[in-house]
Each structure stands twice: as structure tokens, then as C-alpha cells.
């Protein structure tokens, strides 16, 4: 469970916290330039702060009308198992519900560690109706 020193805020983490949370939680590390775009270009955020440090986060990208994609769900390993991911996800969904018209389309990519949480919050697989796909990039990452 969350601890009294945990606060949920709706502003983005610092770039340093964003990059650290991604890497430390097992998500693919990103460059500072990529992180800057994520921090500045998201539709909404939900971040759990423990003292002065971000320990869990999630964000939504989308058009603010009917399409919303949840991304960057991450919790530092030493804070996992306390319900922080559920707290973040519930808050993101509440933010969507506050502004979306009836029946918004809410998506996410579910890595194995998060699938139980997402299913418990009402997410279902889209296959065979649709299947998530990504463009395989062919250029080397910039240093």
C-alpha cells in the first residue's frame, strides 16, 4: 500500500526522473532528447512522488477527444507491490473520464509484468479484431 509520504501529482516528472524511472523499471531506456518530447508532449500525467523523488508514473498521449493511449507505466523496483501502479492507472483513467465523450477508445501496450493489473482494471486483448503493430526502424540511434 502507498505510504503517507507518497503523493499523487498530475504534472510530469523531471526529465532526470522520467529517464531513471523508465530504465530502472525495465522499460527501454531513452535518450534525453526522446525524454524531453515525452515530458512536454503528453496529454496528461499521473506521478507518485515519495518525498522529493518520482517513484511511479504513467502518462496519456492522444487527441483529447476520443483516442487515448496510456504509456510509460513504470514503478521503481523498490516501490513495486504497494499498489502504486494501480493508483497511477486509476488516476489516468479518471482524467480521461473527466473530459472524454461517451465510449472513448483507450489503449495501451501490455508488457508481461503489467498484464494482470491492466486486466483487473478492465482492459482486454484486441486480437483478433485488431493487432498492435510497430514500425521497425532501420537507422542507428543517435548518440
> Domain for residue 136, yes or no?
no
> Domain for residue 131, yes or no?
no
Number of domains into which the chain is organized: 1
CATH of residue 105: 3.40.630.30
- The pLDDT, as a whole number, for residue 131 is 85
- The pLDDT, as a whole number, for residue 23 is 97
> Domain for residue 19, yes or no?
yes
> Domain for residue 28, yes or no?
yes
Distance CA 47, CA 137 (A): 30
Alpha-carbon separation of residue 112 from 2, 117, 126, 131 (angstroms): 23, 10, 15, 16
Residue 6: which residues within 8 A CB-CB, separation 6 or more?
48, 49, 50, 55, 84
Residue by residue, DSSP assigns 74-112 as: EE-GGGTTSSHHHHHHHHHHHHHHHHPPSS-EEEE---G
- The pLDDT, as a whole number, for residue 138 is 74
What is the share, in percent, of the chain residues with pLDDT greater than 70? 95
Residue pLDDT tens, the chain, 143 long: 667 789 999 999 999 999 999 999 999 999 999 999 999 999 999 999 999 999 999 999 999 889 999 999 999 999 999 999 999 999 999 999 999 988 899 999 998 889 999 999 999 998 888 888 888 877 766 65
> Domain for residue 105, yes or no?
yes
- The pLDDT, as a whole number, for residue 96 is 96
Tell me how far the alpha carbon of residue 97 is from its chain's centroid.
Answer: 16
- The pLDDT, as a whole number, for residue 11 is 96
Dihedral, 88, 91, 93, 97 alpha carbons, nearest 10: -170
- For residue 26, the enclosing domain spans 6-120
Overall pTM > 0.85: yes
Residue 35: which residues within 8 A CB-CB, separation 6 or more?
15, 18, 19, 22
Amino acid at each position: 500500500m502507498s505510504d503517507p509520504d507518497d503523493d499523487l501529482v498530475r504534472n510530469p516528472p523531471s526529465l532526470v526522473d522520467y529517464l531513471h524511472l523508465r530504465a530502472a523499471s525495465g522499460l527501454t531506456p531513452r535518450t534525453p532528447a526522446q525524454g524531453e518530447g515525452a515530458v512536454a508532449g503528453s496529454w496528461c500525467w499521473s506521478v507518485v512522488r515519495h518525498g522529493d523523488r518520482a517513484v511511479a508514473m504513467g502518462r496519456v498521449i492522444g487527441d483529447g477527444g476520443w483516442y487515448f493511449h496510456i504509456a510509460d507505466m513504470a514503478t521503481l523496483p523498490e516501490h513495486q507491490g504497494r499498489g502504486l501502479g494501480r493508483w497511477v492507472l486509476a488516476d489516468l483513467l479518471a482524467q480521461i473520464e473527466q473530459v472524454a465523450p461517451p465510449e472513448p477508445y483507450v489503449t495501451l501496450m501490455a508488457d508481461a509484468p503489467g498484464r494482470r493489473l491492466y486486466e483487473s482494471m478492465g482492459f482486454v486483448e484486441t486480437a483478433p479484431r485488431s493487432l498492435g503493430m510497430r514500425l521497425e526502424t532501420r537507422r542507428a540511434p543517435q548518440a
